[in-house]
Amino acid sequence: MNLECLNDIITDNLAIHIDLTDVNSWVNWNTGLTAFSLTKWSGAYSDNINLIDFGLTGFDNGRTNIMWSGITVTPSDTLFTMYRVGYNEVHNPTTGETSGVTATTFYYPISAITSGGTENYYFDLTGGYLQGFFKLQDYNYMLFPARYNAGITIETILYLYPDSQGIFFMMGARAEDKYNPYFSGETMTGTTTTGVITSEDNYLDAIIGTERVKTSFSQPEDMMETVYSEAPQVNNIKNNVIAFELTQDKRIAYKYINNEGLIITNSSSATVTATGFTMIDIAFTPNIVFDDPAQLECAQQRTGKLIFYVNGRAMWIVKDFPEFYFHAFDNQREKEIGVPYSISWGGGSFGLKHSWHYDYQTYVLYNGQDTSYINSNFMVEPDPISTDCYIAPTGDTYLEGLSLSADSTTFSGNTICDPTIEYPMTVMSIKYTGGTGTTYFVKFLQPISVLSNRDYVANLMLYNDSFFSGGTTNKVSILMYSDVVDVDVIKDVEYVHPLTFQYLLSLQDDNLHPWGDGQEYQYSLDGKLYYGDSGLPVTWENSMIVGYGITNYGYYGNPLGASTVVTGDMSWLPMSSTFRTPDNTGQNFVYMGLLIETDGGFNTGGTLYINDFTYTAADILVQDERKDNLTIEQNFDYGFLGGIQKLRIYDRAFTSPEILHNALIEKEKNANIIVSKGGRIIYR
């Protein structure tokens, strides 16, 4: 390259070029302090990609304040972009709230200096810095290579104060794998795995399934089994992060994690005496350059020469420096978006210090509150998803016929310390007052925030005191509905009474059948016999009276996943419903309540009592203490005290004349950059 013919900085192999003095790089001097590269790497590529799971990791460094949010990239998104680093403070709903998680993003401090002409613009850092990712593993997206055949040059212009110090550039993994080890609140792993899933149906863990031959098997098709184990977490950061800093005594230093997981650091003997705008270059030249770049992918780690320059002059050479390059995590691709292949400018990285995980919480809709609470939070409507047409009346109650109130005289409970001591127990009373309706919906008035990609479980206890007067189908069930999305019911435990022969026949499609000759209410499920119109389990004690049609109460469980029935009078019985909204739809709001149906009638004065009406899901956010103060946070969590103005990254190592050329060009633009006529090189 003939440098004498160039009247500007070198652009060959210039992959990333951020210049805060250029309105196109700091677009229109945006208040978000986002910086865009003016050039793109010659091999950059992007695709139309909907990164639905972006918030899982983007929430942790302030790129979004909605953990279930995503972003999209397009084929035109080939310019590297850096964003201000922040963190979120989370407000979880209490058990009495149903609106969902809210979060506020706070940013580490940066001041935009915009005085003295655009050539003097820069970001003044007092803890804040910029961060961005240049590659997405297993997605069609790469803006800079993870390994460079001909080396790399990192060139930055800083603004140095007399007390400037700290990491000014970091590259590689910005944190350890957030999902290793897994957090039990979002993933329960054992013989089965349950919990929150990603858009690609993977659980939030780093569990690897390995196929192996069983020690014994009866049939050839049964010879293989899958064994699950956690990925070793330290492997994700070995030789996967490097940082450069200015020490308190003004020496240039490097810090990286080697192939054994150890922190390696060293600093120059020479010091940086410049203040104001100062250009620092870091050039790594590998000892071996392959004629065929494809060989690089499988090549062993090389060594090379690492040279540090200040204002165009070499001040420190490190020989036989191990090649630094970067790799993905041992996890599914959607759970590591933006964590490996990251660049920090003006700081290091705080690791998983501000990481958040989903956890379970139980929300109470009713559990012993008074009549005032009931009147404020429940009302009676027709079936909200009925196929029958109706015009909803106006007023506080849509449908006459039921009276809702708190009852504190019918039931009592026992204290834990002394079971002989009873106390009044308040429950909700649903009393039939007369009318022509055959279907009622007792609705909880507040819409309930639900997140997709996880199950919600609603539960309550129900007591029937002569509420139904006859008919062949009397049913009470928990109903959820939305005007926006479908609600998919996974499993139901409904109240049905009586458990008639006709109802048993209706369950045949769910593999439930009448027992024996089909003339009695006897049937077998999961190895257990049941009988009677109450579904009482057959035990050794009552086996002699099987078939006598005794009416009683009880419940049975269905291991086949179909609807389960509880039935019987004058007894507290459990009801539940497991439901979810369509995957990858984020946050939605549903209404929940109790649907009461009959094809017969109701007894005036008959009463249903309910209590412990709750729902549970993994939809709050908590921090995993085990992820605090890990290796990256311990060693790379500090920013640069000073200013940042320009960043250029080339995918080849510059020679000393090329470094000097760019320094002289910058000197012409800013006389504060002092390029000396010579310099002393310090070897390690």
Higher pLDDT, 58 or 1: 58
pLDDT confidence of residue 191: 60
Alpha carbon distances (Å) from 491 to 60, 142, 364, 487: 34, 44, 20, 12
Q: Supply the Cα-derived Rg of the chain in whole angstroms.
A: 34
In the chain, % of residues over pLDDT 70 = 85
Q: Is the pLDDT of residue 215 over 90?
A: no
DSSP state of 300: P
Ranking 8-22, 229-243, 291-305, 504-518 by mean pLDDT, the lowest is 504-518
pLDDT confidence of residue 412: 85
pLDDT confidence of residue 188: 76
Question: Once rounded to an integer, what is the mean pLDDT over residues 32-60?
Answer: 97
Q: Is the pLDDT of residue 432 over 60?
A: yes
Q: Is the pLDDT of residue 439 over 70?
A: yes
Structural domains in the chain plus CATH codes: 3-175+244-356+623-669 (2.60.120.200), 187-230 (no CATH), 361-497+569-620 (2.60.120), 499-561 (no CATH)
DSSP state of 550: -
pLDDT confidence of residue 646: 98
Question: Once rounded to an integer, what is the mean pLDDT over residues 327-345?
Answer: 96
Q: How confident is the model at residue 388 (pLDDT cuts 50, 70, 90)?
A: low
- Tell me: the pLDDT tens digits for 555-570? 333 332 334 566 666 7
- Tell me: the pLDDT tens digits for 601-642? 899 999 999 999 999 999 999 999 999 999 999 999 999 999
pLDDT confidence of residue 210: 77
In the chain, % of residues over pLDDT 90 = 68
DSSP string, 308-361: EEETTEEEEEEEEEEP------SS-GGGSTTSSSEEEESB---TTTT--EEEEE
Across the chain, what does the average pLDDT equal? Answer: 86
Q: Is the pLDDT of residue 219 over 80?
A: no
Higher pLDDT, 395 or 446: 446
d(CA 438, CA 155) in angstroms, rounded, equals: 77
Question: Once rounded to an integer, what is the mean pLDDT over residues 152-166?
Answer: 97
- Tell me: the pLDDT tens digits for 519-553? 333 444 444 444 444 444 433 333 222 232 323 33
Q: Bridge partners of 111?
A: 124
Q: What is the 3-state secondary structure (H, E, C) of 48-59?
A: CEEECCCHHHHC
Q: How confident is the model at residue 20 (pLDDT cuts 50, 70, 90)?
A: very high
CA-wise closest residue to 69 among 101, 36, 46: 101
Question: Once rounded to an integer, what is the mean pLDDT over residues 394-423?
Answer: 78
Residue tagged 């269905």 (tokens): 558
How many of the other CB atoms lie within 10 Å of CB of 518?
12
Higher pLDDT, 528 or 111: 111
pLDDT confidence of residue 626: 93
pLDDT confidence of residue 386: 64
pLDDT confidence of residue 564: 54
Alpha carbon distances (Å) from 198 to 186, 201, 291, 454, 456: 11, 5, 42, 9, 16
Q: How confident is the model at residue 316 (pLDDT cuts 50, 70, 90)?
A: very high
Q: Is the pLDDT of residue 513 over 50?
A: no
Q: Give me the long-range contacts of 92-97 (CB less than 8 A, separation at least 24).
A: 92/361, 92/620, 92/621, 92/622, 93/361, 93/363, 93/449, 93/620, 95/361, 95/362, 95/363, 95/364, 96/363, 96/364, 97/363
Question: Once rounded to an integer, what is the mean pLDDT over residues 374-382?
Answer: 94
pLDDT confidence of residue 523: 44
